[in-house]
Amino acid sequence: MPAPYIFTKSLSLHKILDQKTTADPHVTPRQPPPAAVPATSTTKHFSNMFSPPPSFASPPSTLPSSVTKPRPSLTCRLRKRTYYRRFGLQASISPPAPAPPTASQPFASDDSDDSDSLHEECGVVGVWGHPSSAAVAYYALHALQHRGQEGAGIVTSGESFSPDLREYKGLGLVSEVFANALDGDSLAGESAIAHNRYSTSGEKSVRNVQPFRASFREGQVAVAHNGNLTNADVLRVELELRGSIFATSSDTEVVLHLMATSVGSSGGVARKAADALNRVEGAYSILILTKETLIAVRDPYGFRPLVMGELKVEGRAAPAIVFASETCALDIVEAKFMREVEPGEMVSIDREGNITNSFPFPPLRRHACVFEHIYFSKPSSVVFGRSVYMSRFRFGELLATSAMVPDADAIVPVPESGVPAALGYASASGIQFQQAIIRSHYVGRTFIQPTQVARDIGVRLKLAPVEALIRGRSVVVVDDSIVRGTTSKKIVRMLRDAGAREVHFRIACPPITGGCFYGVDTPDKEKLLSNRMTDAEACEYIGADSLAFLPLDAMHEFLADEAPTFCDACFSGNYPVLPAVVTPPKLAAGF
């Protein structure tokens, strides 16, 4: 067990955007929301994000007698409530008995078509030893844009005359955030880490855009994180009770505070990172940057991918090192794939370019997220040692074997993610593949759904049927997954309006019946179509002539001996680690 973490007023994580606090030290008040900040000017608002205040009184070591059960912060209470509501958890973290589904029951849905899919919450990039590290990180982020579209940031290091790390971040797509940021030397440096983010509703704030930066005794540190810490709420309350003040709602900031309170005096930032990450649970692929080193860490379960490559640098014998969430990011910058960062591994690169690795965490059985192969990762990537495209193609073949529609006239994919599986289904069935639904690539992200006009137009903003390929025909629509069912329902109606004689829906993954705790933004459990309804009721809800999913056993058959090393909790309910929930007894005890 790590040594106890003791709060001291010398920590440098207590000033939030130059605001002072005079609140009760035992209860962290809700911070006012930040003003809207243009992407081109966000840097100066974050430059002193974690600087120490002019004065800060250390809280007493014991609570006053009048405070027997300190009330958790509003942030903690809201996050706890979100976990209960979102995943249907009781205080004991055991799911309640599901209510029997009824087709007549009104189905809770979100009118936004963007909400009817699962979202990976981010992608990370690290570059070491390249004179244009920010540019390399920028293009690599482009390749990972599918992993997060709400915001992006880059932090660089390497200018010998500057003791500080340099950063630039903002809301929007990578091309929007960095439209002018790479001009000049504002992000000069030979090392960089970068991050793009998908945010949940209510959390779309530049404060939550990573990488995050903090000042330690060893100097400035920046962190970028892909995943989700399942005990972040408990750790956050513990840290708040001991005086820490949080500037964001991100679980990544918990890691920075834990590093700041690490009692390890030797080993530098790498030791602090190991101490901090030994206290967290859940999923993390993390990059840590200082003036002296770049550190890459992957959690012992290996939930999220993290790969390592080398990039030739003109005029230099030693190659640059590139870390990324997927191999497609290495491909775009022409870096050669070296290997995966292994589950539980910490890889460090020092100023001289020496690479060392260690395994500072207790070993756990690997649980790589199978949804990386179903939907999240780019088809051109190799993830967990397997081609993503070939996995999806094979899922389509297996789906055709288990749920054939023999008299169909055409196999139609839902673009773009359903294309590989549809090609596999067509190959196994012998039925002609037709690109009968065309996706618009110029719509962008639409969040104006509250208007009735937007509701009526709905999915037609993004998808258009080719009537000549549909009218009078029986079509099999293949999609990678179905979440709420709202988009599927609109697609069925759109195809019938285009003259389809029959519409059969085939889903190239098992039914999604549970949420994810490991870095995927999933709807509330009661909004998941397959958790709420039987297959027959779901078919009636979306209006299809038939509906079938890839059986879980068929997916396991494809994974073969590696099946036990994949996490399929959203299908099976077998969660390797459940979230820790803050409870009043823990608060009363002051941890």
Rg of the chain's alpha carbons, rounded to an integer?
25
Q: Residue 522 has which token pair?
A: 């999933």
328 an active-site residue? no
pLDDT tier for residue 47 given thresholds of 50, 70 and 90:
very low
Catalytic-role residue among 76, 122, 328, 369: 122
Q: How does the average pLDDT of the chain come out, rounded? A: 81
Question: From residue 375, how far is each of 329, 369, 371, 437, 480 by CA, in Å?
Answer: 17, 11, 6, 19, 6
Q: Which of the 8 DSSP states describes residue 138?
A: H
Question: Which residues, 6+ apart, have CB-to-CB distance to 46 below 8 Å?
Answer: 167, 169, 213
The token duo for 502 is 């029959």
Closest CA to 429 of 451, 448, 406: 406
- For the stretch 73-97, pLDDT in tens is 444 444 444 443 443 333 332 333 3
What is the C-alpha separation between 554 and 584, in angstroms, rounded? 44
Whole-angstrom Cα distance, residue 591 to residue 586?
A: 6
Is the model's pLDDT at 57 over the cut of 50? no
Whether 326 has a pLDDT exceeding 90, the answer reads yes
Is it the case that residue 305 has pLDDT exceeding 70? yes
Among 20, 43, 347, residue whose Cα is nearest residue 177: 43
pTM comes to 0.79
Ordered domains of the chain (ranges, CATH) = 119-364 (3.60.20.10), 387-442+449-572 (3.40.50.2020)
pLDDT at position 291 is 93
pLDDT tens, position by position, 181-229: 888 788 999 999 999 988 643 467 888 899 999 998 889 999 999 999 9
In whole angstroms, give the CA distance from residue 563 to residue 551: 14
Q: Would you place residue 126 in the very low, low, confident or very high pLDDT band (cuts 50, 70, 90)?
A: very high
Q: Compute the residue count for the chain.
A: 591
Do residues 133 and 158 lie in contact, with contact meaning Cβ atoms separated by under 8 Å? yes
| pLDDT for residue 520 | 84
In tens, the pLDDT along 235-263 reads 999 999 999 999 988 899 999 999 998 87
Specify the 3-state DSSP secondary structure of 433.
Answer: strand
Task: Please write down the HEC assignment for all residues of 445-494.
Answer: CCCCCCCHHHHHHHHHHCEEECHHHCCCCEEEEEECCCCCCHHHHHHHHH
| pLDDT beyond 90 at 158 | no
Rounded to an integer, the average pLDDT of 379-389 is: 98
Alpha-carbon distance of 325 to 335, in angstroms, equals: 14
Q: How far apart are CA 335 and CA 323, in angstroms?
A: 10
List pLDDT tens digits, range 540-582: 999 999 999 999 999 999 999 999 999 999 999 999 998 887 7
Task: Please list, in sequence order, all residues whose beta carbon lies within 8 angstroms of the beta carbon of residue 429, skipping any fewer than 6 positions away.
Answer: 400, 404, 405, 406, 408, 411
Range with lowest mean pLDDT among 16-20, 117-121, 347-351, 432-436: 16-20
Sort strands 502-507 and 546-549 into parallel, antiparallel or unpaired: parallel
